[in-house]
Structure 1
Amino acid sequence: MNDFLLRNIRFVLWFLIGLVLIHVIILWPIKSSLSAIYNAVNSIAPIVAIILIYLTFNQQRRQVQEAETQVSIAKKEFIRSGKSDFLNRVDQHFILSLNIHRDNVAAMNFKGQVIGKDFFVEVIKCFNDIFNELYIKQNDEIHRYLKRKLSKNDFIDISYRILFYGIGLEIPIETLDHNFKSYHSFLKPDLEGDGGFGWFIYGFWSNQTAMQSNLSHYFRHLYHTITYIHDLEIDQTEKEFYIKRIRGQFSNHEQALFFINSLSIGANWRKYKSTPESTPIDLISTYELIKNLPGNFFEHINHKCYYKKIKYEEDHGIAFEETPKGKRCHEQLPA
Structure 2
Amino acid sequence: MSDELQRQGMSAEGSARPEGGRVAPSLGGGSGAARRCRAGETVERGQSFGPIWFGVLGSVTIVLVVLWLAVQPSASGQGNKLADFWSLELNAMGDALAGLASTVAFLWLIVTAFIQRNELQEQRKSLGAQIEELQHTRREFELTRKVQEDHLNSFSEQRFEMMFFEMVRTFDAIVSSLDLANSGGGRTHATGRDCFGTFFKDFRKEYSKGTGTEVEVIKVAWDEFWHNRQSDLGHYFRYLYNCLKIISDQSAKEGGQIFRERHAKLLRAMLSDDELLVIFYSCFAPKGKKFVRFASEFELFDNLPYNRLLHEGHWDLWKEREREHREGKL
The 8 Å contact of residues 108 and 115 in structure 1, kept in 2 or not, is answered as yes
Amino acid at match of 2:144: A
Tell me the CA shift for residue 219 of structure 1. Answer: 0.7
Cα distance in 2 for partners of 1:303, 1:64 equals 63
1:62 aligns with 2:132: yes
Alignment of 1:170-185 (within 5 A): none
Which residue of the other structure, out of 206, 213, 220, is the alignment partner of 1:151? 213
Tell me the CA shift for residue 117 of structure 1. Answer: 2.3
Partner of 1:176: none
Kindly tell me: are residues 51 and 304 of structure 1, through their superposed partners in 2, closer, same or farther at Cα, counting changes over 3 Å? farther
Which residue of the other structure, out of 225, 235, 248, is the alignment partner of 2:253? 235
1:257 aligns with 2:278: yes
Partner of 2:227: 165
Amino acid at match of 1:240: R
Tell me the CA shift for residue 262 of structure 1. Answer: 1.7
Alignment of 1:207-226 (within 5 A): 211-226=229-244
Partner of 2:198: 122
Cα distance in 2 for partners of 1:309, 1:73 equals 48
SS at 1:91's partner residue? helix
Tell me the CA shift for residue 234 of structure 1. Answer: 4.6
Gaps of at least 5 residues in structure 1 are 21-41, 140-149, 167-210, 272-281, 311-320, 322-331
1:100 aligns with 2:170: yes
Cα distance in 1 for partners of 2:198, 2:255 equals 35
Alignment of 1:43-62 (within 5 A): 53-62=123-132
The 8 Å contact of residues 179 and 190 in structure 2, kept in 1 or not, is answered as yes
Amino acid at match of 1:151: T
Cα distance in 2 for partners of 1:65, 1:333 equals 49
Tell me the CA shift for residue 258 of structure 1. Answer: 1.2
SS at 1:307's partner residue? helix
SS at 1:305's partner residue? helix
The 8 Å contact of residues 107 and 115 in structure 1, kept in 2 or not, is answered as yes
Partner of 2:94: none
Amino acid at match of 1:263: F
Answer with 1 or 2: which has the greater Rg: 2
Gaps of at least 5 residues in structure 2 are 1-30, 51-111, 182-187
How many residues are matched? 239
Cα distance in 2 for partners of 1:334, 1:71 equals 48
The 8 Å contact of residues 251 and 260 in structure 2, kept in 1 or not, is answered as no
Task: Give RMSD over aligned pairs.
Answer: 5.0
Tell me the CA shift for residue 264 of structure 1. Answer: 1.8
Give TM-score, length-normalised by structure 2.
0.53
Alignment of 1:11-30 (within 5 A): none
Tell me the CA shift for residue 113 of structure 1. Answer: 2.8
Tell me the CA shift for residue 257 of structure 1. Answer: 1.4
1:72 aligns with 2:90: no
SS at 1:162's partner residue? helix
The 8 Å contact of residues 295 and 302 in structure 1, kept in 2 or not, is answered as no
Q: Encode CA deviations 1:254-302: one digit per residue, 9 max, x unaligned.
A: 222111112125324247xxxxxxxxxx232223232322444414142
Tell me the CA shift for residue 227 of structure 1. Answer: 2.6
The 8 Å contact of residues 120 and 254 in structure 1, kept in 2 or not, is answered as yes
Cα distance in 1 for partners of 2:299, 2:255 equals 13
Amino acid at match of 1:213: S
Cα distance in 1 for partners of 2:226, 2:284 equals 13
Kindly tell me: are residues 235 and 124 of structure 1, through their superposed partners in 2, closer, same or farther at Cα, counting changes over 3 Å? same
SS at 2:302's partner residue? coil
Give TM-score, length-normalised by structure 1.
0.53
The 8 Å contact of residues 241 and 291 in structure 2, kept in 1 or not, is answered as no
Percent sequence identity over aligned pairs: 17
Q: Encode CA deviations 1:100-130: one digit per residue, 9 max, x unaligned.
A: 1111222332332343323223322332343
SS at 1:113's partner residue? strand
SS at 1:306's partner residue? helix
Cα distance in 1 for partners of 2:316, 2:328 equals 11
Kindly tell me: are residues 294 and 122 of structure 1, through their superposed partners in 2, closer, same or farther at Cα, counting changes over 3 Å? same
Kindly tell me: are residues 309 and 75 of structure 1, through their superposed partners in 2, closer, same or farther at Cα, counting changes over 3 Å? farther
Cα distance in 2 for partners of 1:234, 1:251 equals 28
